[in-house]
Amino acid sequence: MTEQGKTTRALMGLSAVVIAVCAVVVAVKVVGIHPQRPVLDQEAVERQVSATARSGTSAKVDMSREGVFCPTAIEARKGIKFECDVYLAPGEPTTVKAEVVDDQGKLRMSKS
């Protein structure tokens, strides 16, 4: 019986160590997770870029996103700058520069 008691105590001690290690790993993972930051609506950004690129040209100003290529997952954070390429016609690329002007996702755009 004494040998069996020692084995039982050793297994209980080992299981306590395993549980403690698991608890530490979970705590580190939870603390290390960054809150997801809001991102701009990709479709809305591309429609606005399209309208900006086509304004002042003979190209039809519409809400089409066709030919508009912007970065994905743009943070809705003041000061973020990005560029989008717009192809109004084959061989006629236009670059639209944009900046997020507030944390609500309002944009300032200009053609280059």
Q: Is 43 exposed, middle or buried (0-12, 13-18, 19+ CB in 10 A)?
A: exposed
Q: Does residue 2 surpass a pLDDT of 60?
A: yes
63 and 104 fall within a common domain: yes
Maximum pairwise Cα distance, the chain: 95
Residues of the domain holding 4: 1-33
**How many angstroms from the chain centroid is the CA of residue 96?**
20
In terms of domains, do 28 and 47 share one?
no
Structurally, how many domains does the chain consist of?
2
**Same domain membership, residue 98 and residue 53:** yes
Residue 63 pLDDT level (bands cut at 50, 70, 90): low
**In terms of domains, do 46 and 92 share one?**
yes
pLDDT bucket at 36, cuts 50 / 70 / 90: confident
Query: What value does the mean pLDDT take over residues 54-65?
Result: 65
Across 10-71, where does the E strand assignment appear?
68-69
